[in-house]
Chains A and B, each alone.
Chain A
């Protein structure tokens, strides 16, 4: 990992930077930022433009802004429930992966048992297999158990993630064994060592796993598309894609749906921005 002290001596570009070069750099990064932000702005503008004015495309300043598209949206889909579904499933799947992942990580890093490497090999095998290989049998499994159109079906494939186990095992292995030994002398068992010593020390890795679990669930589309039919159990990506099928040419309604899907994650992002970016950066190093 890099440490912040290094930043002061870090490379800061050509040292003979003229004012024009600096201005050009600023212009470039600002144009880039505009390209990143503008589609979001355009989405909002489209969603409040009256349907009749969309034929020639919306304008930056909306003449008669209206919430009509949002009203149509609310009538077409149980959109608030869908927002809550998305949030609830993402939170639950994150919580599950943190608990199951950190426990397994402790098991693999700290306990000795026969065939440990073989068991770990099985975990790694599940890490490599992509969802599309599993989709058909998983769908059949859910159908046979009569679990189509349930929250359980949405959650099931994300209760445990081998990626999380793998990442957390690295973190647990980095915790000095002496800490465990000292605690053992004080009479602590595995459960207490796990909860009071290991867990607090692997917080950065837990944050990374949480970020990936949450984003993974929030963005998940293929699995909900396969296993959910009724709108009450849809998550946002699926709800939006059915909305598109229903209102093919009514872009104001589709964009209203997009705005509703962006707002919750944008709030989460604003609150946890530093952790999210750090979490992603963390996976790239090492």
Chain B
């Protein structure tokens, strides 16, 4: 193509791209670069920035608080993912059968997904209220111990995990159900002809062919899980005594409570790097276990 021809479209290119390019540039790309810049300074958002080089990063990496917030976030992810996956898979398998009222059930399970995190966190904070919450009343009535949930350092994270799993179960179910429905029925027929039982068909046909959907759920859940914030902020605000503080909660507190915006920005980049590495490792590793039909 000659040079004038290559540029002939320029007007159209600008017309179609600028409406998205300008806001992405101003509200994402510029803040991204300035966030890197801020992370190299000591700054309380008010007085002038003071250059500190990489020391925010090195301080954070040796700070026991950093280890704690990453540990809490990891506990959240490790607790949350198996519950939503197992629960979502069970629901998807159940709703993949010819059941009466299937559409109604699917819509019901999905309802918490459209409810906002703040509402879910508040409703569960009330259900898990240690003194007059419903869950402890039921547990007490059947003679089980009543945990202090969000008021107890040992139970705060489990309370968050439980409510988050409840909210996302329907999301995982819908993704896995779509995956199940794209598995061709003749594969099951063939497996039956070969004399397999239902259990073998689940492990040898369903799970392998569901692996692309599983992969999607795992990647998305890990990306979102490491950024957990809303429900923790509302339910425990990181407490009691910092026992449920997660990484994004720490970023928020560092910036807006302690006036340490430089460290907050550095922490956000450390988290981003971690998420990126985890995601890339998964994409690289998918060849080993993800089968595309």
A→B interface (CB under 8 Å): 1-2, 6-15, 25-26, 28-29, 32-33, 35-37, 39-40, 42-43, 46, 54-57, 99-101, 103-104, 106-108, 111-114, 119, 122-123, 125-126, 128-141, 156-157, 159-160, 162, 165, 190, 194, 215, 218-219, 221-222, 225-226, 236-238, 240-241, 244, 251, 254-255, 257-258, 261-262, 265-266, 268-269, 273, 276-277, 280-285
B155 interface hit (Cβ, 8 Å): no
CB <8 Å contact, B175 and A138: no
- Give the CA-CA distance A40 to B134 in the complex, in Å: 13
Q: Which of B129, B178, B264, B276 contacts A285 (CB 8 A)?
A: B178
CB <8 Å contact, B28 and A29: no
CB <8 Å contact, B97 and A13: yes
Q: Could you say which residues of chain B place their CB within 8 Å of the CB of A36?
A: 108-109, 111-112, 166, 169-170
B82 interface hit (Cβ, 8 Å): no
CB <8 Å contact, A129 and B19: no
Nearest B residue (CB) for A99: B19
Q: Map CB proximity to A onto B5-18 as digits: 1 under 8 Å, 0 otherwise.
A: 01101101101110
Q: Which of A101, A261, A284 contacts B178 (CB 8 A)?
A: A284
CB distance from B253 to the nearest CB of A (A): 12
Nearest B residue (CB) for A107: B16
What 19 additional pairs, Cβ within 8 angstroms, besides A10-B181, A241-B118, A261-B118? A1-B182, A6-B182, A9-B185, A25-B99, A36-B109, A40-B111, A100-B20, A101-B20, A103-B16, A111-B12, A112-B6, A132-B252, A141-B30, A156-B27, A244-B234, A261-B116, A269-B111, A280-B171, A280-B174
Q: A37-B108, A133-B272 are in contact. Are A113 and B19 (CB under 8 A)?
A: no
Q: Could you say which residues of chain A place their CB within 8 Å of the CB of B32?
A: 125-126, 129, 133-134, 137
Q: Map CB proximity to A onto B127-168 as digits: 1 under 8 Å, 0 otherwise.
A: 101001110010000000000000000000000000000100
- Give the CA-CA distance A138 to B252 in the complex, in Å: 13
Q: Which of A265, A269, A280 contacts B175 (CB 8 A)?
A: A280
CB <8 Å contact, B35 and A28: no
B216 interface hit (Cβ, 8 Å): yes
Q: Could you say which residues of chain B place their CB within 8 Å of the CB of A14?
A: 198
CB <8 Å contact, B24 and A33: no
CB <8 Å contact, A11 and B96: yes
CB <8 Å contact, A254 and B252: no
Q: Could you say which residues of chain A place their CB within 8 Å of the CB of B15?
A: 103, 190
Q: Could you say which residues of chain B place their CB within 8 Å of the CB of A130?
A: 227, 268, 271-272, 275
Number of residues in B with C-beta < 8 Å to the partner? 105
Q: A2-B178, A42-B134 are in contact. Are A126 and B24 (CB under 8 A)?
A: yes
B114 interface hit (Cβ, 8 Å): yes
CB <8 Å contact, A215 and B16: no
CB <8 Å contact, A113 and B127: no
CB <8 Å contact, A111 and B132: no
Could you give 20 example pairs across A and B, Cβ below 8 Å?
A9-B186, A11-B180, A36-B108, A57-B137, A101-B20, A103-B15, A114-B6, A126-B29, A130-B272, A134-B31, A136-B265, A138-B27, A159-B27, A160-B19, A190-B15, A237-B119, A244-B122, A262-B115, A285-B178, A285-B212
CB <8 Å contact, B171 and A11: no
CB distance from A241 to the nearest CB of B (A): 6
Determine chain A's interface SS by DSSP, over half rule: helix
Q: A10-B96, A136-B264, A236-B116 are in contact. Are A277 and B124 (CB under 8 A)?
A: no
CB <8 Å contact, A6 and B126: no
B53 interface hit (Cβ, 8 Å): no
- Give the CA-CA distance A194 to B16 in the complex, in Å: 10
Task: For the complex of A and B, list the 3 residue pairs with the smallest distance between their C-beta atoms, beginning with the closest.
Answer: A9-B185, A107-B16, A284-B175
- Give the CA-CA distance A257 to B94 in the complex, in Å: 34
- Give the CA-CA distance A264 to B98 in the complex, in Å: 32
Q: A103-B19, A160-B24 are in contact. Are A281 and B110 (CB under 8 A)?
A: no
CB distance from B181 to the nearest CB of A (A): 5
Nearest B residue (CB) for A56: B132
CB <8 Å contact, A107 and B17: yes
Q: Which of A32, A108, A136, A280 contacts B109 (CB 8 A)?
A: A32
CB <8 Å contact, B16 and A237: no
CB distance from B139 to the nearest CB of A (A): 12
B70 interface hit (Cβ, 8 Å): no
Nearest B residue (CB) for A33: B108
- Give the CA-CA distance A95 to B114 in the complex, in Å: 19
- Give the CA-CA distance A201 to B60 in the complex, in Å: 50
CB <8 Å contact, B116 and A219: yes
Q: Could you say which residues of chain B place their CB within 8 Å of the CB of A129?
A: 28, 32, 272
Q: A219-B117, A277-B174 are in contact. Are A141 and B134 (CB under 8 A)?
A: no
Nearest B residue (CB) for A57: B132
Q: A39-B127, A251-B129 are in contact. Are A284 and B179 (CB under 8 A)?
A: yes
CB distance from A162 to the nearest CB of B (A): 7
CB distance from B146 to the nearest CB of A (A): 12
CB <8 Å contact, B118 and A39: no
CB distance from A245 to the nearest CB of B (A): 10
Q: Could you say which residues of chain B place their CB within 8 Å of the CB of A100?
A: 19-20, 23
Q: A237-B117, A261-B116, A285-B178 are in contact. Are A37 and B186 (CB under 8 A)?
A: no
Q: Could you say which residues of chain B place their CB within 8 Å of the CB of A54?
A: 132
Q: A36-B108, A226-B256, A281-B174 are in contact. Are A104 and B17 (CB under 8 A)?
A: yes
